[in-house]
Amino acid sequence: MSKALFPRACAALSRRGALLVLGLGLASACDRRLLPGGASGGALPSGAVVLSALPPPPPLPAAPALPPGPGAQAPASFAALAAAADPAVVFVKTLQEQRILTGRRVVGEGLGSAFVYDSNGLILTNNHVIENASEIRVIFGRTREMSATVVGRDPPTDVAVLRVDAKGLASLPLGDSDGVRVGDWVVAIGNPFGLQHTVSAGILSAKGRTSQDVKGLDESGYYEFLQTDASINPGNSGGPLLDTGGRVVGINTAIRAEANSIGFAIPVNMVRDILPRLLKDGGIKRSAVGVQVSSVLPDDVARLGLAVALGALVRVVVPGGPADVAGLKVDDVIMEFDSKPIAGPERLRWLASLAGVGNEVGLKVARGSRLFELRVKLVELPSAPPAPRALPFP
């Protein structure tokens, strides 16, 4: 299939807010046909397996009495946690070389944070900390400095893995970002403004922040940020966000410049999903369904006769792409991907991107009041050119 079908989304097709690109992008100059769908639905795709009518909306559950989580009780002091975690947090210095439009070479120094997650010399940080670096130095404590090499990096998630030639290093365990709850205590450790080994504490303020919540991000990226009010500043990028058990639940990555104490971290479970591929291949080869999707809004529920405002609403189908071949239409709602429930478009984008080029997966789809399954064979998602960052990255 021609890569002419894969440029970025065209703003002219953005109905009710920005579209999220899932799989294949829009064709040049929005050269695209919108496939008919709607509440009436029409005939189902050939090969579709009809499941049933959509179930009625579930009743609202009573608020459960939640047991205390790992961060529910505020400790009298974070000193023991900080002392145990600090040896695994490192200061990153980079020498960065770029050529500007005149052809002149510009050399600068970058600063950031990182942490050892494997005692055999493997380190996690942000991609933007080491991007364009010709040399990377990692400082342990205040005096031990070592050269580091890039094992793998993934710009769409802003994750990078480094390696130093050392064994038996202090390391931090990776925790569970799904298990940490809004309101739980968290601790950030890093090197803001070059002030090495700075500790700050706060709570987890929110989960699942996307490019719709955090403006200025490259919309081709993948975002499910944890939000915290623990102090994060320039230089904190790449450092760990810890639960009160000292486990990493996120990698600190961005701030809201005009706000006070609003910082964002990449959930560690997203990192877990891509880590094996970064170690093996050095990068991520992403797969694509061939649609653009958005959230299901309340008026979509009424217009399409849906039971609930869940799933990913198909706004655009790429002609000749996997979804088109399988019979997916505009206004279909993808409820499951490969037997995994889809709460919204960002979840679908993430799962589809990692499912594997050439693999065939099942989709559970709602078309009006009907529910059916179909299968699609995924194709490769070409890399989008990097977009300039408008959001301050610490």
Catalytic residue IDs? 128, 158, 237
Tell me 311's DSSP state: S
Tokens of 181: 């709850």
Asked whether 73 and 203 are in contact (CB, 8 A), the reply is no
Q: Which residues contact 139 (CB under 8 A, 6 or more apart)?
A: 90, 91, 92, 93, 145, 196
Tell me 378's DSSP state: -
Distance (Å, rounded) from C-alpha 350 to C-alpha 79? 37
The DSSP code sequence of 116-185 is: EEETTTEEEE-HHHHTTEEEEEEEETTTEEEEEEEEEEETTTTEEEEEES-SS-----B--TTTS-TT-E
Q: Longest C-alpha distance within the chain, in Å?
A: 69
Q: Tell the residue number behind the tokens 């706060």, with chain if given.
A: 202
Virtual torsion, Cα 366, 371, 373, 378, nearest 10 deg = 0
Distance (Å, rounded) from C-alpha 186 to C-alpha 90? 19
Handedness of CA 34, 37, 42, 46 (dihedral sign): positive
Tell me 5's DSSP state: G
For residue 267, what is the enclosing H or E element? strand 263-267
Distance (Å, rounded) from C-alpha 168 to C-alpha 182? 35
Q: Compute the radius of gyration of the chain from its Cα atoms.
A: 22
Burial annotation 224-254 (CB, 10 A radius, 16+ → b, else e): bbbbbbbbbbbbbbbbbbbbbebbbbbbbbb
Cβ-based neighbour number of residue 293 at 10 Å: 27
Give whole-number Cα distances, 88 to 28, 122, 124, 172, in Å: 47, 11, 11, 6
